Chain A
């Protein structure tokens, strides 16, 4: 197998990178009809598998689970998840031959083995559904020509997929049809019906391609979503402790601050987030985020280049082959950081205090979101896709840090994201070493406005606001956020 993207001529590369269409709600008026009466068999019953299956069944579809023989005989958690919720469970041999749609919800790493086992058993003209394009695009998996290959990727953890569905809503979802495998032209209709089945159609659906999904997803998770949030959190905590701020306070500010700050990002974009600062703090945050963008731009570009060329996936797959040697070592090291080991103190921090005392994180988030977005768009990814994989997902990842710090974030995200996150983090910290020596507690730990008279130059402020608001991520974001009819606030504890 060779990297699918690299086999394409440039024209086709650009063509597939450019598939990007925010779908109108009228596209979903057919409901689940395209899958009604069909037999849906889900491979794997972890959090995504179980919760998507519960939703699909509650939408009137016929759902069963297939697991490896060992998982069934050993009555593993996946077997318990499925049987205790009264689903039919069977081996590949028992269930795959009767399936109209086989839904592969196993982790990336297992895809090649799973698909190789499942494909020979699939009936003529069946559909294979992925929730991530890595196996097709990066590993170059070839699927039998009679089989339709589609992707439906809810952009939230499995527990949220269920919680939002039973509340009568859903989570934003990305769909795609693999152009090499759509022999009957039914792929799109089935993907849309699947979205209705999981409730995703109520929260906004983006039509993408396998290629665009993989290349933007990898970029987003490695840089702004996980990588930079990890780097920024660790550096901020260490700086506060170094400067004598109470460690419990520092731990709490960092753990919950990123969630509170990105909640503003979710509702009002980068400018909405920056508007939560006082004018003086905004001017400062703007200046240092400009500086941060200059420092980190080459690193963002390197990540995007390695993703496009396949270099990233090649090295990561080497690590798979080596038994996740690097991944496990990096994971252990993250668990040992001072931030991770210091529990959040029993102090009350008000909502506005998270902005006033953590201006540095606001600057990190602005720099990271804009850089990731710009770098993706320069590489041929459409602004809408780039928006989803940068700004849109940042609050969701920040939410996981609020739960249980970086450990939780790295547990929830895929191994692929986790691997890329550490790669970025290790390269980024040395890059920022000089910058951090200039940072003091006014930017992180104490109220930036303290001892300042709050006055700013009119023209400077107007110019800054203009730059922030006219950035393309803001223009695209304003449109997409409006289309997602109900922006729901993530409930904080």
Chain B
């Protein structure tokens, strides 16, 4: 029998001085494709990075590749996070930056980025086009990196990996931000490269997986435990009985008007490219909406208008909280009434703020904290920290936490001021199933008090029960608006 591709004996790993993996053993043989699932913070990402030798090389992880294969003999890791730099080597971006137009482009184009990747790994350029087309990315070749949405950045990472076809491909939360069709196509592409000889380690809690996955494991108490397909997590949902903090059950004030959002023939374009076309949409106080649409359909742009983040708001007939935009209001007066979470907000959030500072900053809609919040705001923040189970991380810097915990802190930030309007753009990215369930219950709870909700999510299973209306965008236009049959709110 040939040597195993990966052989791990008694691996011990610490994350910030806390043991994560303890005497972990794992053997991956030829023709095996693994799924690693399980709770957030269990050590999945640490394990993946260790195998790919990112940051550190461990003597108790042996990898051996097939010398006869034409595929690159390496373990390539696609991170659950991505970073890019501008042409000057800086990565000091802000999430609204993609909406501001500046004549001098500061980041590379997708095309240039792919060219430099291809050159580095000596890849054939004619092979990338097919991957681009399959993920619906071809039209974006001339876009600059700063202009890409969250889903598009994820796709760019995947395009590189699928083009490279390494002998071992490790994908960490690859479905985050992808729409239904892209997820299907990704699975087909993964099956194809597996057919061609790449082996997969897939870190995910999704249920629709490539058919080539033939082993499943979770990490429990620092050790890898193989499980069967039937045993996957759903059975161990804990009961969650913490009381929602009282300040969140107070009715929100809708002092201004019944009408929260009113758009009349709203158009947004960048040069020749029209991103939103004749959008008409009304949202009344207390309504719960879901906003659907494939990657690139214009969802983020639509939301950026509502959050005061898009400069072209001023050129449209567009009313927020009963006032026409551009009639003398400041964006801070608007933001004060909105609780926002989005993948972009998370990526560009100040990584050097502590969990506590990050949550308090929700009162001021700032990234990082710039003033003393005073007693009552501090008290509300502490209550929420406890509610989200973040007590022990209160003074930890955001960039020292795993993705799921960071996300929980930012979700707490989103609701800390009990806002009139909640905008939840894929709020549960990076959370495990249990955390998602708990968060959705909290959203349902909040919505009982008259909060208006706009929810974006590509996963049907992650949408809270209180949603009653749906708007569907397609290529920048409203395809349909409908009233949904209300699902019963689970109590």
Contact of A86 among B271, B312, B352, B367 (CB under 8 A): B312
Min distance, Cβ A173 to any Cβ of chain B, angstroms? 15
Known: A167-B350, A486-B368. A85 touches B89 (CB 8 A): no
- Tell me, in angstroms, the Cα distance from A50 to B103 when the chains sit together: 10
Q: Which stretch (B173-181, B327-335, B461-469) binds chain A?
A: B327-335
Contact of B361 among A77, A168, A403 (CB under 8 A): A168
Q: Is the CB of B100 closer than 8 A to any CB of chain A?
A: yes
Q: Is the CB of B88 closer than 8 A to any CB of chain A?
A: yes
**Are B96 and A169 in contact, with the CB atoms below 8 A?**
no
**Are A77 and B104 in contact, with the CB atoms below 8 A?**
yes
Q: Is the CB of A345 closer than 8 A to any CB of chain B?
A: no
**Are A86 and B314 in contact, with the CB atoms below 8 A?**
yes
**Are B368 and A168 in contact, with the CB atoms below 8 A?**
yes
List residues of chain B with CB within 8 A of the CB of A62.
328
**Are A169 and B85 in contact, with the CB atoms below 8 A?**
no
**Are A81 and B330 in contact, with the CB atoms below 8 A?**
no
**Are A37 and B368 in contact, with the CB atoms below 8 A?**
no
Q: Is the CB of A111 closer than 8 A to any CB of chain B?
A: no
- Tell me, in angstroms, the Cα distance from A58 to B88 when the chains sit together: 28
**Are A77 and B103 in contact, with the CB atoms below 8 A?**
yes
Q: Is the CB of B253 closer than 8 A to any CB of chain A?
A: no
Known: A77-B104, A81-B102, A408-B88. A168 touches B311 (CB 8 A): no
**Are B329 and A403 in contact, with the CB atoms below 8 A?**
no
Min distance, Cβ B335 to any Cβ of chain A, angstroms? 9
List residues of chain A with CB within 8 A of the CB of B65.
none
Q: Is the CB of A68 closer than 8 A to any CB of chain B?
A: no
- Tell me, in angstroms, the Cα distance from A491 to B349 when the chains sit together: 12
Q: Is the CB of A207 closer than 8 A to any CB of chain B?
A: no
**Are A80 and B103 in contact, with the CB atoms below 8 A?**
yes
Contact with B along A49-81 (1 / 0, CB 8 A): 010001001111010000000000000011011
Within 8 A of A (CB), among B96-139: 96-97, 100-104
The interface on chain A, measured as residues whose beta carbon lies within 8 A of the other chain's beta carbons, has a size of: 35
Contact of B330 among A50, A59, A167 (CB under 8 A): A59
**Are A403 and B371 in contact, with the CB atoms below 8 A?**
no
**Are A493 and B85 in contact, with the CB atoms below 8 A?**
yes
Q: Is the CB of A489 closer than 8 A to any CB of chain B?
A: yes
Question: How would you classify the secondary structure of chain B's contact residues: helix, strand, loop or mixed?
Answer: loop
List residues of chain B with CB within 8 A of the CB of A58.
308, 330-331
List residues of chain A with CB within 8 A of the CB of B100.
54, 85, 162
Q: Is the CB of A434 closer than 8 A to any CB of chain B?
A: no
**Are B101 and A81 in contact, with the CB atoms below 8 A?**
yes
- Tell me, in angstroms, the Cα distance from A320 to B94 when the chains sit together: 38
- Tell me, in angstroms, the Cα distance from A78 to B101 when the chains sit together: 11
List residues of chain B with CB within 8 A of the CB of A84.
101, 270-271
- Tell me, in angstroms, the Cα distance from A304 to B407 when the chains sit together: 53
**Are A60 and B367 in contact, with the CB atoms below 8 A?**
no
- Tell me, in angstroms, the Cα distance from A86 to B93 when the chains sit together: 22
**Are A493 and B89 in contact, with the CB atoms below 8 A?**
yes
Closest to B368 in A: A167
Q: Is the CB of B246 closer than 8 A to any CB of chain A?
A: no
Q: Is the CB of A163 closer than 8 A to any CB of chain B?
A: yes
**Are B331 and A488 in contact, with the CB atoms below 8 A?**
no
**Are A50 and B102 in contact, with the CB atoms below 8 A?**
yes
**Are A166 and B96 in contact, with the CB atoms below 8 A?**
yes
- Tell me, in angstroms, the Cα distance from A490 to B326 when the chains sit together: 32
**Are A60 and B330 in contact, with the CB atoms below 8 A?**
yes
Contact with B along A343-355 (1 / 0, CB 8 A): 0000000000000
List residues of chain B with CB within 8 A of the CB of A486.
368-371
Q: Is the CB of B249 closer than 8 A to any CB of chain A?
A: no
Known: A57-B314, A166-B96, A167-B366. A81 touches B90 (CB 8 A): no
Within 8 A of B (CB), among A161-193: 162-163, 166-169
Within 8 A of A (CB), among B308-362: 308-309, 311-312, 314-315, 326, 328-333, 350, 352, 361
List residues of chain A with CB within 8 A of the CB of B93.
163
**Are A36 and B90 in contact, with the CB atoms below 8 A?**
no
Closest to A163 in B: B94
List residues of chain A with CB within 8 A of the CB of B333.
60
Contact of B311 among A54, A77, A78, A493 (CB under 8 A): A54
Known: A85-B101, A486-B370. A403 touches B314 (CB 8 A): no
- Tell me, in angstroms, the Cα distance from A86 to B96 when the chains sit together: 16
List residues of chain B with CB within 8 A of the CB of A86.
311-312, 314-315
Min distance, Cβ A485 to any Cβ of chain B, angstroms? 6
Q: Is the CB of B376 closer than 8 A to any CB of chain A?
A: no
Min distance, Cβ B265 to any Cβ of chain A, angstroms? 15
Closest to B270 in A: A84
Centre residue among B270, B332, B361 by max chain A CB count within 10 A: B332
Closest to B85 in A: A493
- Tell me, in angstroms, the Cα distance from A226 to B244 when the chains sit together: 56
List residues of chain B with CB within 8 A of the CB of A408.
88
Closest to B366 in A: A168
Known: A403-B89, A404-B88, A493-B89. A169 touches B328 (CB 8 A): no
Q: Is the CB of A303 closer than 8 A to any CB of chain B?
A: no
List residues of chain B with CB within 8 A of the CB of A266.
none
Q: Is the CB of A155 closer than 8 A to any CB of chain B?
A: no
List residues of chain B with CB within 8 A of the CB of A489.
352
List residues of chain A with CB within 8 A of the CB of B270.
84
**Are B366 and A169 in contact, with the CB atoms below 8 A?**
yes
Min distance, Cβ B11 to any Cβ of chain A, angstroms? 25
Min distance, Cβ A64 to any Cβ of chain B, angstroms? 11
**Are B328 and A485 in contact, with the CB atoms below 8 A?**
no
Q: Is the CB of B388 closer than 8 A to any CB of chain A?
A: no
Q: Is the CB of A202 closer than 8 A to any CB of chain B?
A: yes
Known: A80-B101, A169-B366. A403 touches B88 (CB 8 A): yes
Within 8 A of A (CB), among B59-106: 85, 88-94, 96-97, 100-104
**Are B314 and A493 in contact, with the CB atoms below 8 A?**
no
**Are A166 and B94 in contact, with the CB atoms below 8 A?**
yes
- Tell me, in angstroms, the Cα distance from A403 to B90 when the chains sit together: 7
Min distance, Cβ A3 to any Cβ of chain B, angstroms? 35
**Are B92 and A169 in contact, with the CB atoms below 8 A?**
no
Known: A54-B311, A80-B103, A169-B370. A493 touches B91 (CB 8 A): yes
Within 8 A of B (CB), among A296-323: none
**Are B371 and A163 in contact, with the CB atoms below 8 A?**
no
Min distance, Cβ B87 to any Cβ of chain A, angstroms? 9
- Tell me, in angstroms, the Cα distance from A54 to B102 when the chains sit together: 11
Known: A485-B370, A485-B371. A37 touches B328 (CB 8 A): yes
Known: A80-B103, A84-B270. A168 touches B364 (CB 8 A): yes
- Tell me, in angstroms, the Cα distance from A163 to B102 when the chains sit together: 13
Min distance, Cβ B410 to any Cβ of chain A, angstroms? 15
List residues of chain A with CB within 8 A of the CB of B152.
none
Closest to A36 in B: B328
Q: Is the CB of B425 closer than 8 A to any CB of chain A?
A: no
Q: Is the CB of B365 closer than 8 A to any CB of chain A?
A: yes
Centre residue among A80, A86, A162, A408 by max chain B CB count within 10 A: A86
18 more A-B residue pairs beyond the given contacts A50-B102, A167-B94, with a C-beta to C-beta distance below 8 A:
A37-B328, A57-B311, A57-B314, A58-B330, A60-B330, A60-B333, A86-B314, A86-B315, A168-B361, A168-B367, A168-B368, A169-B370, A403-B90, A485-B371, A490-B92, A491-B352, A493-B90, A493-B91
Sample of 26 A–B contacts (CB below 8 Å): A36-B328, A54-B100, A57-B314, A58-B308, A58-B331, A59-B332, A60-B328, A60-B329, A78-B103, A80-B103, A81-B102, A81-B103, A84-B101, A84-B271, A85-B312, A86-B311, A162-B100, A163-B93, A168-B361, A168-B365, A202-B370, A403-B89, A404-B88, A408-B88, A486-B370, A486-B371
Identify the B interface with A (CB < 8 A).
85, 88-94, 96-97, 100-104, 270-271, 308-309, 311-312, 314-315, 326, 328-333, 350, 352, 361, 364-371
Q: State the 9 A-B residue pairs at the shortest beta-carbon distance, nearest first.
A: A168-B366, A77-B103, A84-B101, A86-B315, A60-B330, A486-B370, A403-B88, A167-B367, A85-B311
Identify the A interface with B (CB < 8 A).
32, 36-37, 47, 50, 54, 57-60, 62, 77-78, 80-81, 84-86, 162-163, 166-169, 202, 403-404, 408, 485-486, 488-491, 493
